[in-house]
Amino acid sequence: MSSGSGRNTNSNNTNNGSAGNGSNEAAVGNGGVPAGEIDSPKKQCLAALARLDLQPGVPELFNKEHVTRGVVLAGDQQIQLSSNAFGLKTESLPVHQYHVDFMKTLARERNGQHTFPLVQDETGNPNFPNQPLRKVPDYTTYQNRIMHQNLFAAFIRKYPNVFGKDPDVFCYDYAKTLYSLTKLTSLDTPMELTEAETQQAINRPYKVNLILKKPADNVFDIRDWNESIGDGLSEKPAEIIRFFELATSRYASQHPEDHVMFESKKTYYMEPRKFGFTSPDLGGGKYLAAGASKVVVCVEGNRKEGAPAVIIDSKKTPFYQSMNLLEMICAALQTGPNITPNRAQWEIAAKYVKRLECFPIYGNRQDSTVLLSTLTTASAVDTMMELDGNQISIAQYIQQRYQVQLRFPQWPLATGAKKVRGNRVHIPLELLHVADYQRVGNGNITSSDIATIVRACAVNPSVKSGEIINCHQSFAFGADGFMEGAHMTVIDRPLDVQGRIIQAPAISYANGNLYPEQNGKWRLPKPAKYVRAATLKSWCALFLEVRGERMSFAEYEQFVAKYYHECRNRGIALGEPLRIWSVPCDQAPIEKAFEDASGAGCEFILIGHSDRDSTVHRKIF
């Protein structure tokens, strides 16, 4: 119950009695500003002030130099601070940008075609074209990066007449963009990997063609980052900042034995102890993975000049274990596989499998994953399918088709997110293995998980500083051939800055001063009186009746009495309310109450409004 909300009735247009959300407000009481011109925050503020008969005075501008540079005042203590920003040294050097397309050619025709993009773009739901595209699942994202990396390396080896003999002149984002320190001149050369070559590179049995395209403006100088495209340091050429982020992640991305990367800004460690971290077990088939986040930004130097810097921080994120799916769900439910799950257990299990990628451990699909969406409501023995004109259960089909006898047929089936030949795929949980490198969604993070994550992340500054240094070393900036060729260097030590501990101010009351406690908190003394208090002549209290609210109207009346007595104790000139009454929590009776209060000359309404209501609140305030 939130019963301390106030509303000033003088600011309302009483012609409609609403809280400022009626069609009349745009045309009435707008301070002379035409409705069509109230199209900016500044004009809206001026119009609001005009409705209250207020005029803005001459503005007083604060000297920002005192904030950005800092001024050591009496009582302040100057200290040295260490940051997580590492300087990035660059030299003038041209970089060439190219567009990369991989196309695969299948031996078997599909939908009347043989050639397709290597990775299909997400198309979304055609029935809901306005919905955002689905995010590619983690395991697929990781595998796509590895596949592009290995294919590009194979093409470099096969076509030295196009790429030369030094692979360290290239920085590739493992998708569509390639940066090169040398100009490529043989872009029209047809480039293809045979089925055998593709099989050796990425274990896929089809031909792959590589198409390189040169954008119209494909050359920039590394030092062009210093050319602002706006007024602030953050408004730098986005393409060059993105190039910096890819270049500083190149070594990590080329060592998947140590790093799992879904993008250039984050990495997770395959062997966390190698980099000074641990991976606590969260239970329920989850663990807390250690990693690092990294971005490149422009920071202001001593002479107010911008300079690029790499911001590095340690990162802790929950991941799923790679294990049998039924075992994972049983661990989450804290039960064994011999039970028949009830409704509550089914709901927890259904949340676990949503958007989860798993490998079938039967048949001939063990090298490709299935993206799951939900669970069936029926078990494997009760879910039927048609085979040769007969109805048989999924359990019978698995036994007849694959000679696999289910051990736990009483469990529901996992349902695939994509249809195969127009039908949903149903797979027993015990025949699925959870793919690696999958982050846990917020819906499957428990309060116990949160407590473990907080303990792992809330570390002392000295520990945090050590983690940041370990993360810096994990990227191995100095060992990357491309960064060396581009004359880019990330400083080993973080930037040090001057800081100051500001003397805590004191709060002055009419009957004494209040100083903060050692923990920085101010506790208001009971006898404290305000130096200059407000005066309120006429006011009322309104209680909104909401179904299920535990506070009664009589209890609200007691709260109002305590409220105005406390105001008096603090020096506020406040009389007893003109009226205390209640109305249903609906727009029409509330508007009528506002009209009555305004007609009675009330300057203020204290509203008691239940937290259980979420629809009327935004209309009142």
> Nearest 5°: phi and psi at 169?
-90, 0
Find the distance separating the first CA and the last CA of the chain, reported in whole Å: 16
pLDDT of residue 10: 43
pLDDT of residue 604: 93
Nearest-CA neighbor of 8 among 544, 594, 579? 594
Question: Which residue spans within 118-233 are E strands per DSSP?
Answer: 170-172, 177-180, 191-193, 207-213, 219-221
Q: What is the mean pLDDT of residues 324-330?
A: 96
pLDDT of residue 155: 96
> Nearest 5°: phi and psi at 497?
-130, 155
Per-residue pLDDT at 126 exceeds 80 = no
pLDDT of residue 584: 92
pLDDT of residue 621: 57
Dump pLDDT digits (tens) for 76-85.
Answer: 888 888 899 9
- Measured between alpha carbons, how far is 407 from 388 in angstroms, rounded to an integer? 26
**291 bridge partner residues:** 268, 315
pLDDT of residue 570: 85
Q: What is the mean pLDDT of residues 610-616?
A: 79
For 10, 15, 357, 607, the CA distances from 594, given in Å and listed in that order, are 10, 11, 56, 11
> Count of CB atoms within 10 A of residue 417's CB?
17
- Measured between alpha carbons, how far is 514 from 371 in angstroms, rounded to an integer? 61
Nearest-CA neighbor of 171 among 473, 484, 471? 484
Task: List the single range of 36-40, 41-45, 592-596 with lowest mean pLDDT.
Answer: 36-40
User: Is residue 7 very low, low, confident or very high in pLDDT (cuts 50, 70, 90)?
Assistant: very low
| Angle between helix 138-158 and helix 195-202 axes, rounded to 10 deg | 130
pLDDT of residue 450: 93
Which stretch of DSSP H or E encloses residue 543? Answer: strand 539-545
pLDDT of residue 28: 38
- Measured between alpha carbons, how far is 11 from 49 in angstroms, rounded to an integer? 10
Dump pLDDT digits (tens) for 410-461.
Answer: 999 999 998 887 888 999 999 999 999 999 998 899 999 999 999 999 999 9
Nearest-CA neighbor of 544 among 596, 597, 616, 618? 616
Nearest-CA neighbor of 291 among 263, 315, 270? 315
Q: What is the mean pLDDT of residues 462-486?
A: 95
Mean pLDDT (the chain) is 85
190's tokens? 């047809």
Per-residue pLDDT at 11 exceeds 60 = no
150's tokens? 């290995």
The residue behind tokens 């990066």 is: 145
User: Is residue 13 very low, low, confident or very high in pLDDT (cuts 50, 70, 90)?
Assistant: very low
Higher pLDDT, residue 355 or 33: 355
| 2 alpha carbon, distance to own chain's centre | 30
Higher pLDDT, residue 33 or 150: 150
- Measured between alpha carbons, how far is 604 from 542 in angstroms, rounded to an integer? 10
Note whether 357 and 371 are within 8 A (CB). Answer: yes
pLDDT of residue 39: 60
Rg (CA), the chain: 33
Q: What percent of the chain has pLDDT over 70?
A: 86
Burial class of 129 by CB neighbour count within 10 A (0 to 12, 13 to 18, 19+): exposed
Half-sphere exposure of 551 (CA within 13 A, CB side): 20
pLDDT of residue 422: 80
pLDDT of residue 109: 67
Which stretch of DSSP H or E encloses residue 414? Answer: strand 412-420
Nearest-CA neighbor of 413 among 375, 371, 446, 440? 375
Note whether 390 and 380 are within 8 A (CB). Answer: no
The residue behind tokens 């109230």 is: 38
Q: Are strands 412-420 and 390-393 parallel, antiparallel or unpaired?
A: unpaired
Read off the amino acid at residue 338.
N
**87 bridge partner residues:** 309
Per-residue pLDDT at 22 exceeds 50 = no
Q: What is the mean pLDDT of residues 282-295?
A: 95
Q: What is the DSSP letter of 75?
A: T
**501 bridge partner residues:** 77
**CB environment 259-273: b (16+ within 10 A), e (fewer):** bbbbebbbbbbbebe
Q: What is the mean pLDDT of residues 369-374?
A: 94
- Measured between alpha carbons, how far is 596 from 542 in angstroms, rounded to an integer? 11
pLDDT of residue 67: 57
Read off the amino acid at residue 493.
R
User: Is residue 522 very low, low, confident or very high in pLDDT (cuts 50, 70, 90)?
Assistant: confident
Higher pLDDT, residue 76 or 188: 188
Q: What is the mean pLDDT of residues 128-149?
A: 82
> Count of CB atoms within 10 A of residue 513's CB?
9
| Angle between helix 325-333 and helix 343-353 axes, rounded to 10 deg | 130
Helix/strand/coil percentages in the chain, nearest 5:
30, 30, 40
Task: Give the dihedral of Cα atoms 325, 328, 333, 338; nearest 10 deg.
Answer: 60
- Measured between alpha carbons, how far is 325 from 428 in angstroms, rounded to an integer? 9
For 95, 156, 279, 462, the CA distances from 152, given in Å and listed in that order, are 19, 6, 33, 42
Q: What is the DSSP letter of 46?
A: H
Note whether 93 and 222 are within 8 A (CB). Answer: yes
Higher pLDDT, residue 596 or 60: 596
Higher pLDDT, residue 319 or 28: 319
pLDDT of residue 131: 58
Note whether 309 and 85 are within 8 A (CB). Answer: yes
Q: What is the mean pLDDT of residues 334-362?
A: 95
Dump pLDDT digits (tens) for 216-269.
Answer: 889 999 988 877 544 444 555 888 999 999 999 999 999 999 999 999 999 999
Dump pLDDT digits (tens) for 173-184.
Answer: 999 999 999 999
- Measured between alpha carbons, how far is 227 from 579 in angstroms, rounded to an integer? 65
Nearest-CA neighbor of 351 among 328, 380, 368? 328
Note whether 482 and 168 are within 8 A (CB). Answer: yes
Dump pLDDT digits (tens) for 42-78.
Answer: 788 888 888 877 888 887 776 666 655 667 777 788 8
Half-sphere exposure of 123 (CA within 13 A, CB side): 6
The residue behind tokens 């009626």 is: 22
**89 bridge partner residues:** 489
The residue behind tokens 């960064």 is: 483
Q: What percent of the chain has pLDDT over 90?
A: 58
Per-residue pLDDT at 566 exceeds 50 = yes
Question: Which residue spans within 40-134 are E strands per DSSP?
Answer: 77-82, 85-89, 94-110, 113-117
pLDDT of residue 20: 37
